[in-house]
């Protein structure tokens, strides 16, 4: 296993406040911002009890084998999270626990936020440099935005019927065709629903999970318009993969909660889960063809995986031993065991062939 961990010298140890008084703020305008601070911490507290279910999914591979990990800290700041990485290796995220969003263009870090914005959350980006996300305005009202160059457009889900007030609109990701995904809350923050948005025509399309109850989110979309997200049902909180109307439920084996946050054009999905034994320890995962692989960043106490590009690079954040949130990019590398296995197999074949020749010589003498 090859692991490279680069530690920035400008990090500061700030203890995360993810769980502080969370239950008393579930209906506040900052509910989804708290979800971004750790999207599924809040989701966990929406479920009072999640029963263990029988599963037939193949057993997961264990640990973050065969990735090179690079820690990402916004220069001179702390509490960094990487939320999206595109196919050029550019990525976006937040620092100082949502004080500002940032873009890394491959050379430089640039902080940004919509005009008049306070805290920002959940930025997602495509290969064309379009960025979506959410922010709190000067009146502390949550808004969604689309950023194209230096132009920001505020996005609001249309109320239907018109007399119904939409409490919040959030955008999470956008593909290269300009199709974004997100969610909205009703005015009391009792119900959330997922949707897609064609930013070229300003057309909203609801995303419906038949077994979902009051909570549905869309977190990621690829260029095939495949969507991943999470939902709450009567039996728990799960991830989903939506492909041309077909829904695959995602549940990491042995977890108490699973949520999917990113998908690439190969159909490989990333997300995070809570281990059922503890109910609180946060881990990342990669899902491919029905098989889960657990992801834990080196030195992490908690790991959150939010995005994957077509090269298989994954992005997210982790908490180190001091409780500081730190972003990461992890790049897959060839499995050494595969090459060694071929060498060993070749050596074994040579030995067996030699034995066979010896036996053949003995018989024919």
Residue 146 has pLDDT above 50, yes or no: yes
Structural domains in the chain, sorted by start: 22-333 (2.120.10.30)
Structure tokens at 59: 């057993």
Residue 161 has pLDDT above 80, yes or no: no
155 neighbors 134 (Cβ within 8 angstroms): no
The predicted-structure confidence for 217-269, as pLDDT tens digits, reads as follows 999 999 999 999 999 999 999 999 999 999 999 999 999 999 999 999 999 99
Residue 329, Cα to own-chain centre: how many angstroms?
12
The structure's pTM equals: 0.77
What is the structure's pLDDT at 187?
79
Q: How many CB atoms lie within 10 A of CB 253?
A: 16
User: Is 3 or 154 the better-scoring residue by pLDDT?
Assistant: 154
In Å, what is the CA distance from 2 to each residue of 65, 108, 292, 330?
A: 8, 27, 20, 11
* Integer Cα distance of 243 and 254 in angstroms: 25
Residue 60 has pLDDT above 60, yes or no: no
């Amino acid at each position: 296993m090859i692991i490279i961990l680069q530690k920035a010298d400008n990090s500061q140890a700030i203890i995360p406040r993810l769980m502080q008084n969370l239950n008393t703020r579930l209906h506040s305008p900052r509910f989804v911002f708290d979800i971004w601070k750790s999207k599924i911490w809040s989701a966990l507290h929406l479920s009072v009890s999640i029963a263990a279910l029988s599963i037939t999914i193949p057993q997961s591979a264990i640990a973050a084998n065969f990735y090179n990990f690079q820690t990402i800290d916004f220069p001179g700041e702390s509490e960094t999270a990487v939320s999206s990485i595109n196919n050029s290796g550019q990525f976006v995220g937040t620092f100082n626990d949502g004080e500002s969003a940032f873009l890394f263009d491959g050379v430089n870090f640039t902080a940004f936020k919509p005009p008049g914005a306070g805290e920002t959350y959940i930025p997602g980006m495509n290969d064309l440099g379009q960025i979506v996300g959410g922010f709190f305005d000067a009146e502390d009202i949550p808004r969604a935005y689309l950023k194209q160059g230096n132009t920001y457009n505020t996005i609001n889900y249309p109320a239907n019927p018109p007399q119904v007030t939409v409490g919040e609109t959030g955008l999470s990701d956008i593909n290269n065709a300009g199709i974004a995904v997100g969610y909205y809350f009703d005015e009391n923050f009792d119900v959330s629903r997922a949707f897609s948005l064609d930013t070229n025509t300003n057309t909203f399309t609801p995303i419906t999970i038949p077994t979902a109850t009051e909570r549905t989110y869309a977190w990621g979309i690829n260029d095939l318009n495949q969507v991943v997200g999470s939902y709450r049902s009567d039996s728990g909180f799960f991830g989903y993969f939506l492909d041309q109307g077909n829904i695959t439920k995602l549940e990491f084996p042995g977890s108490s909660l699973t949520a999917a946050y990113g998908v690439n054009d190969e159909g490989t999905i990333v997300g995070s889960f809570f281990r059922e034994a503890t109910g609180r320890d946060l881990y990342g995962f990669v899902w491919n063809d029905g098989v889960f692989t657990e992801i834990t960043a080196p030195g992490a106490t908690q790991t959150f995986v939010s995005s994957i590009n077509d090269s298989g690079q994954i992005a997210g954040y982790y908490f180190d031993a001091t409780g500081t949130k730190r972003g990461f990019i992890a790049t897959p590398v060839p499995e050494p065991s595969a090459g060694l296995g071929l060498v060993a197999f070749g050596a074994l074949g040579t030995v067996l062939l030699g034995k066979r020749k010896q036996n053949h010589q003995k018989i024919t003498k």
